[in-house]
Structure 1
Amino acid sequence: MSDVPPLRDWAPHTAEVRWWRQRTTRGPRVDRLVREVTVSRPPYIAEREYPMDRPLRAMTTASVGDLSHLDLVHGRTLKALNHLQLRTESVDSSKIENVDASLADYGRALLGSGANASATSMASATAALSRMIREADTTRKVSAEAMLRAHHDLFRTNPDEAHRAGRFRTTQNWVGGSDYSPRDALHVPPPPETVPDYLDDLFAFCNRDDLPPVVQAAIAHAQFESIHPFIDGNGRIGRTLIHAILRRRRSTRHLTVPIASALVTHRDSYFAALNDYRAGNASTIVAMMATAIRIATAESWTAATNLLATRERWGGALPEARPGSAVFRLLDLLTEQPILNVELVERSVGLGADEAEEAIETVAAAKILTRVRRTRKAPVWLATDVLHEVEELSTRIQDSARRLRD
């Protein structure tokens, strides 16, 4: 980022000095001596307009056009693409928060088969993202209730945060700095008693129909991150808000392009764009969002082609798998659910336990499925071709984002 202050195109946050006293005696003495904290008060935005210059307007229009075209061509007929995108988005959104795990462990967590804490957190992020999109799709609005349910999905299995799952904060929080006080914090959100009014204002903004969807999603995301209404999980829930708005506005009807995969590439620039927003310049985050959407959409076309080619290749490896047969239906399932166990196959394909096991063994013999190691008692199987595409989609998006920046 340049040292030159950005031009203001949005109302900047204001600073307010508040009394502070540490609630715990832990941490260094210097934290216990803090008596004041300067909080950052965002503007209210429910009715605010956002003027754009011609280049930025063209960027946002092109990005939503690309997104809608992909959704029109592949959204209804290739459900596997959305499943792949959801996984890619959840994995990379978690990585922005330094939460990472192998895809095998992530898959076990999705099945509830036991996994490490990071993998479980990534699976919970997938559930939260899916909920926010689903509720925006069915209710045609973005609501506090849906967000609280998504937050509960994110933290209900976390032993340290389960007691706060699905609850907005009632205490002061901060970003960066000390663990024990807001000393040297990078951002101190507004006081807890102001959070309800700020959220009412934010959801009113999210449910408008007179703003370009990408602008609305980018500004709502930045405003949410500035409010920081949860003690933990603000980044991941804030990025689900982007997709909820795009779905509510019908920029997408079926797909979830992995925007986080582009953002994680330039993590520092992404955080700097949020700081620009607080300084009164929204164009940085709007342009970054439009670019991320265009890159993720372009690479998702390749993912769609690869998924179709993979399914065709599987059919060639198992010519006896005729339409309607158990193996044929299992192959279709694998494009959507590349991580499975016998119970999932029984439930999704409509087979008995013996039939499900036989179908899995047939597909595994063709080297389409691989059993995860150390799952002998409760076997978990991976369709590595599809999981490889999850990784490849993320890699292609990140490579494209780097080339564009260079």
Structure 2
Amino acid sequence: MSARLDLDWQPHRYEVRPWQQRSARGPRIDRTVREIRVSLPPLIRDLDYPMDRPLAAMTQACAGDLGHLDLVHGRTLRALNHLQLRTESVDSSKIENVDASLADYGRALLGVGANASAISMASATAALTRMIRDADATRRIRSEAILAAHHDLFRRNASEAHRAGTYRTTQNWVGGSDYSPRDALHVPPPPETVPDYLDDLFAFANRDDLPPVVQAAIVHAQFESIHPFIDGNGRIGRTLIHAVLRRRRATRHLTVPIASALVAHRERYFAALNDYRAGNARTIVAMLAVAIRIATSESWKAATDVVEIREAWGERAGSPRAGTPLFRLLDLLTEEPIANLALVRERLHLGEDDARAALAQALDARVLVKAPRSRRAPVWLARDVLDEVEDLSTRIVAGSRALRSD
């Protein structure tokens, strides 16, 4: 755990509860566990968070930077938001040790053949998109949206599909043994308490009298402490950060890849959640503020890069006239850098012959390359944009590590 600070938040309480293992599997020591120590978070709906001046300045500054980026590029550069969404989903999955190539991830987004990790990453993108859109449309953080996002995350997972979109009804735990909460790092509250804890959390998340960055950090940490799902809590919990920021209009169009900064310090991130449970919320609030600051700064460069990529494509493709299928395809590829014939026809409202001709022209101009292992169901990659997805993540990770080492 990180260095202990003075308490600035109500710490979790702990209670000893009886335990009986339901399965006979696992080592004998797990089958002999009779008691567990569960964590009981505070109720937070009416709590305020007093900040010292440096932390208040940090959260205000990062929110201002985020709002400026959104104001300048949010309406005019839709491609930047698509790029950010992909970067955020990929790196949020990496925190959970789920990783795949961008080509496989793209195939999963298109619904064509992909491995389990790629499907999981694509499902995380769908969950994130749903949460942000719902918060934007309803101006609320809603249980219905969280359950739908969880369903998006696991509906394509054969072993978890039966639990997709449902809160847990059994005790879970983090770390330790696979068979019992023995030596667990965190044992969340009992399942019968989850509905009341979530009602309390939603009440806090829908307040308008807290700084948005502080509110997002605490909502995330409280959600992770409640751990209301058997699996997927981390990825859904990180979508909540973006949902709160969108609901509070800290950002109206863009989704900066905060997870890219968190994955740079995975152990520190988990330690910050433990600090929150100990009554030190400052650690996670400060960590989120720094993550937003770095992700926002690097997204400015990404915005410039996307514009330059599109201009270079136009030159390589012979400067097609506005409104032609090729011109429109080049615009689309800045948002959808992994495409197949069906996507191009659907998004550009083209017949099959026109869509094929535009793809062939983009291929000839070296805007596109054919994805490996896509002979039967061809998939094309806009490598320049995919490289920018990877580069944005790399820059944020590097910036986070450099800042920590200063």
* TM-score category (smaller protein): over 0.9
- The 5 A counterparts of 1:47-86 are 47-86=46-85
Sequence identity, in percent? 73
Deviations 1:303-328 (A, max 9, x none): 00000000001111122411011100
Question: 2:234 and 2:4 mapped to 1: Cα distance?
Answer: 25
In structure 2, the residue matched to 1:364 is: 363
Question: 1:265 and 1:49 mapped to 2: Cα distance?
Answer: 30
* Cα displacement (A) at 1:5: 2.8
Question: Which amino acid is 2:89 matched to?
Answer: S
In structure 2, the residue matched to 1:285 is: 284
Question: 1:367 and 1:324 mapped to 2: Cα distance?
Answer: 21
- The 5 A counterparts of 1:265-276 are 265-276=264-275
* Cα displacement (A) at 1:118: 0.1
In structure 2, the residue matched to 1:230 is: 229
In structure 2, the residue matched to 1:218 is: 217
* Cα displacement (A) at 1:38: 0.1
Matched, 1:339 2:338: yes
Question: 2:5 and 2:47 mapped to 1: Cα distance?
Answer: 20
Question: 1:9 and 1:151 mapped to 2: Cα distance?
Answer: 32
In structure 2, the residue matched to 1:186 is: 185
Question: 2:17 and 2:179 mapped to 1: Cα distance?
Answer: 17
In structure 2, the residue matched to 1:131 is: 130
Question: 1:72 and 1:401 mapped to 2: Cα distance?
Answer: 24
Matched, 1:307 2:298: no
In structure 2, the residue matched to 1:353 is: 352
In structure 1, the residue matched to 2:198 is: 199
In structure 1, the residue matched to 2:111 is: 112
Determine helix, strand or coil for the equivalent of 2:39. strand
Relative to the length of structure 2, the TM-score reads: 0.99
* Cα displacement (A) at 1:7: 1.1
Question: Which amino acid is 1:252 matched to?
Answer: T
Determine helix, strand or coil for the equivalent of 1:208. coil
Deviations 1:214-269 (A, max 9, x none): 00000000000000000000000000000000000000110000000000000000
In structure 2, the residue matched to 1:87 is: 86
Question: Which amino acid is 2:107 matched to?
Answer: R
Question: 2:262 and 2:334 mapped to 1: Cα distance?
Answer: 26
Question: 1:15 and 1:243 mapped to 2: Cα distance?
Answer: 30
Deviations 1:139-195 (A, max 9, x none): 010000000000000000100100000000000000000000000000000000000
Question: 1:128 and 1:335 mapped to 2: Cα distance?
Answer: 22
Determine helix, strand or coil for the equivalent of 1:12. coil
Question: 1:247 and 1:239 mapped to 2: Cα distance?
Answer: 13
* Cα displacement (A) at 1:354: 1.1
* Cα displacement (A) at 1:376: 1.4
In structure 2, the residue matched to 1:330 is: 329
Question: Which amino acid is 2:36 matched to?
Answer: V
Question: 1:322 and 1:259 mapped to 2: Cα distance?
Answer: 38
Determine helix, strand or coil for the equivalent of 1:183. coil
In structure 2, the residue matched to 1:402 is: 401
Relative to the length of structure 1, the TM-score reads: 0.99
Question: 1:221 and 1:36 mapped to 2: Cα distance?
Answer: 29
Determine helix, strand or coil for the equivalent of 1:224. helix
Deviations 1:60-79 (A, max 9, x none): 00010000000000000000
* Cα displacement (A) at 1:373: 1.5
Question: 1:405 and 1:71 mapped to 2: Cα distance?
Answer: 26
Question: 2:350 and 2:316 mapped to 1: Cα distance?
Answer: 22
Question: Which amino acid is 2:256 matched to?
Answer: V
**Could you list the runs of 4 or more consecutive aligned residues of structure 1 that deviate by over 6 angstroms after TM superposition?**
none
In structure 1, the residue matched to 2:240 is: 241
Deviations 1:51-97 (A, max 9, x none): 00000000000010000000000000000000000000000000000
Question: 2:118 and 2:301 mapped to 1: Cα distance?
Answer: 27
Determine helix, strand or coil for the equivalent of 1:145. helix
Question: Which amino acid is 1:213 matched to?
Answer: P
Q: CA RMSD in A?
A: 0.7
- The 5 A counterparts of 1:145-160 are 145-160=144-159
In structure 2, the residue matched to 1:14 is: 13
